[in-house]
Structure 1
Amino acid sequence: MKRILVAPLNWGLGHATRSIPIINALIANKFEPVIASDGEALRLLQKEYPQLQTLELPSYNITYSKKANSFKLKLIKDSPSLLKTIKREKKITESIVESENISGIISDNRFGVRDKSIPSVFITHQLRVLSGSTTWLSSKLHQNIISKFDECWVPDHTGTNNLSGALGHIEGYESSIKYLGPLSRFEKQDLEKKYDLLVVLSGPEPQRSFLEVKLFDELQHFNGKICFVKGLIEKEQRKTQINHITTYNFMASQELEKALNESELVLSRSGYTSIMDYAKLEKKAFFIPTPGQFEQEYLAKRFEEEQVAPTCKQRDFKTEMLNEIENYHGFKYLQYDLNYKKLFGLF
């Protein structure tokens, strides 16, 4: 069995969770995945795949500033440290390839996880990286990184009826791009409704905690049953019940799939992986983008304009805003059959 290194970025949980269908497909096609990441992303995949080998990579240490408008400045300030980490990551990857007999690499937004001696793939939905007035520069830098890999896999549909919009579709951009269709670890199930609202949190601190505190306070006034998943990957799962709100620190894939199918509405960040999941399950959602994260703000605005899902700024959220969801038509799933055998032919 050829061993394939699968390395998602630890920035929220989205990169790790969208790696799950890829890992499952590798196993189904007689490859042996070796998982490499850090932090909560690594812990989540260790819980999902206790039978697989996992390796720890250097942390990018991406955190948000407390003020949304300082996020870009903080990234620029942290960039020398990030570049050093990527350099270290590349050396560690070369060592792993040799010591662990790796035949191929699938990197989800980890810039240094590649090796010239074996096929290396980069997964991203951002061929264009939004950063306000510097979008042209951040996009060029990202495209330059993509060009160092043998292939770039974009988890979205081709054509105009897509999920990533301007992020994943650039006219005239030449690279070895393959559109996979949206990636989701979930399946739609016809289950009896248990919750009126499911809250799903994730993402870097401190903004994740800020939103948790605000929502927990606001949703005391919600008329209905709430399941509140904090997105904190800890050693043991903890469940608490306070009035109409059932709280979990985290849920494994099967539990979260069940909770999504049992919930009438979803409230979450407008992260791209969440959007792919809601499209697969045809959910009605309300989005609160992470303050200062241009990508999430763009996606939330796009789906609001398309009458798919309402949105608001974090500081403005009020419980009664959830009533707006009934005026939006929610996500619809477009069937897409991905030929994994052909896709993995690269290895």
Structure 2
Amino acid sequence: MNFPTEPATPNALKPTVISPRALFAVSSLGLGHATRSLVLINAFLAQGYQITIVSTGNALAFLRLELADNPAIDWQDREDYPPLERGTGWRFYRFLIFDLFKTWVLIQKEHRQFEHSATEYDFVFSDGRYGFYSRWTPSFILSHQIAFIPPKGLQEISWLSDHLNATALKKFDQIFIPDYPCPSSNLTGNLSHTPVLNDAKNQYIGILSSYPHLEMNQDIDYLFVISGYLQEHKETFVKNLLLQARYLPGIKVFILGDPAANIEQYAEFQKDNLIIHPLASGQLRQELFGRAKCIISRAGYTT
């Protein structure tokens, strides 16, 4: 047996330090899930965590831009649930039934897949991805939508949708609600203040925002932010806004919230005093909000 001829150095005797690991599963239905999860992701990166981010679509593209080239992050692109707001008239209800079933199938699928790797993480944090929980690993979910406001004709079964949603949320060790606990002074009203939470482990954590206040020269008169979950008819919606913006004086800036947006289709609207960005992230995002005198937003909950 060969032995080393020289004594081991102190560095050789130091134990290997293994960084803690966490998985963040972020919904891609709108950008709000990504912007609010970004606050938490940055906080755990600062604590030395190795982080896996699971998302897809615009949400994944946004997070990649915000956290570009960070060696502590592993990226996974996984299919998200279908939209639940497709179609109009009777087609809406047909799509709703189909998409609810597909959502249930995808939740079961992602849960089975995650269970195989759950023990690799110190905890898992989900923002709108219901299948990322485990009996082996501490599992947390962030959600402001505990109850639902059903579409016309389905109000009588709202109790059923609320209890089904609560049952899914209770599979997590803790439900974090980005709102205030006061029933009369909050953002979401009955969406996050509902009796179905009474026997669930939950905590109201206030507002999560990735927008710091910046003291800047406010040289943008109107900032239009096309945010929230908006899929169908978005092109028509944006063009109508651009047409109306022509009549506003001063500098106008549009953020479309879609990295894949084809700016050429809006070329006729772009002038010296009207600028269009497909997506704004990082320092540009902070600066545009800081420079705006007035923000006009087609917003989701988070924006």
- How many Å apart are 1:111 and its aligned residue? 1.0
3-state SS, counterpart of residue 175 of structure 1: coil
One-letter identity of the residue aligned with 2:282: S
- In the alignment, the residues of structure 2 paired with residue 25 and residue 187 of structure 1 have an alpha-carbon distance, to the nearest angstrom, of 15
The residue type paired with residue 35 of structure 2 is T
Output the CA distance in 1 between the equivalents of 2:92 and 2:47.
41
Q: CA deviation at 1:220?
A: 1.5
Partner of residue 271, structure 1: 300
Instruction: Please point out which of 236, 241, 259 is paired with 1:210.
Output: 236
2:205 is aligned with what amino acid? L
Look up the match of 1:22. 40
Counterpart for residue 166 of structure 1: 190
Alignment counterpart, residue 60 of structure 1, candidates 78, 81, 84: 81
The match for 1:326 is: none
SS in 1 for 2:223: strand
Deviations, residues 232-285 of structure 1 (Å, cap 9, x unaligned): 1249999974242111111113211211111111112231110xxxxxxxxxxx
Between the aligned partners of 1:82 and 1:168, the Cα distance in structure 2 is 21
> Match of 1:104?
123
RMSD (Å) for aligned C-alpha atoms: 2.4
Tell me, what secondary structure is at the counterpart of 2:144? coil
Structure 2: which 5+ residue stretches go unaligned? 1-18
Distance 1:31 1:207 in 2: 40
Q: Please list, as runs of the form range in 1=range in 2, the aligned pairs for 1:1-347 lying within 5 A after superposition.
A: 1-50=19-68, 51=70, 52-62=73-83, 64-67=85-88, 71=92, 73-98=94-119, 101-132=120-151, 133=155, 134-159=157-182, 160-171=184-195, 173-202=198-227, 203-234=229-260, 241-274=270-303
C-alpha distance in structure 2 between counterparts of 1:4 and 1:224, whole Å: 46
Question: Percent identity among equivalent residues?
Answer: 26
Match for 1:14: what amino acid?
A: G
Tell whether the 8 Å contact from 1:201 to 1:229 is kept in structure 2 after alignment. Answer: yes
CA distance in 1, matches of 2:135, 2:175: 15
- Name the residue aligned to 1:328: none
Instruction: Give TM-score, length-normalised by structure 2.
Output: 0.82
Max Rg structure? 2
Gapped runs of 5+ residues in structure 1?
A: 275-347
SS at match of 2:302: helix
* C-alpha distance 69-17 of structure 1, shift in aligned 2 (>3 A): farther
* CA distance, structure 2, for counterparts of residue 248 and residue 255 of structure 1: 10
Cα distance in 1 for residues equivalent to 2:173 and 2:180: 21
Structure 2 CA distance for aligned equivalents of residues 72 and 119 of structure 1: 37
What is the TM-score when the length of structure 1 is the normalising length?
Answer: 0.72
Structure 1 residues 270 and 237, CA, compared in 2 at 3 Å: closer, same or farther?
Answer: closer
Shift of 1:196: 1.1
Conserved in 2, the CA contact under 8 Å of 1:63 and 1:206?
A: no
- The structure-2 alpha-carbon separation of the partners of 1:127 and 1:77, relative to structure 1 and needing over 3 Å to count, comes to same
Q: Which has the higher helix share?
A: 1
Conservation of the 8 A alpha-carbon contact between 2:263 and 2:276: no
8 Å Cα contact 1:58/1:89 also seen in 2: no
Structure 1 residues 13 and 68: alpha-carbon distance in aligned structure 2, compared to 1, 3 A threshold: farther
2: CA distance, partners of 1:33 / 1:235: 29
Instruction: Return the offset for 1:174.
Output: 2.2
Alpha-carbon distance in structure 2 between the residues aligned to 1:252 and 1:68: 37
Count of aligned pairs = 272
SS in 1 for 2:125: strand
2:225/2:299 contact within 8 Å kept: no
Q: Distance in 2 between matches of 1:65 and 1:223?
A: 36
Q: Is the 8 A contact 1:36 1:57 kept in 2?
A: yes
Give CA deviations for 1:8-65 in whole Å, capped at 9, x if unaligned: 1110111111101010111223322211111111111112123111112222132642
* Larger mean Cα displacement after TM superposition, 160-169 or 123-132: 160-169
Distance in 2 between residues matched to 1:254 and 1:273, nearest whole Å: 19
* C-alpha separation in 2, matches of 1:264 and 1:68: 39
Q: Distance in 1 between matches of 2:295 and 2:256?
A: 13
Q: Given the superposition, is the C-alpha separation of residues 141 and 63 from structure 1 closer, same or farther in structure 2, using an over 3 Å criterion?
A: closer
**Counterpart amino acid of 1:252?**
S
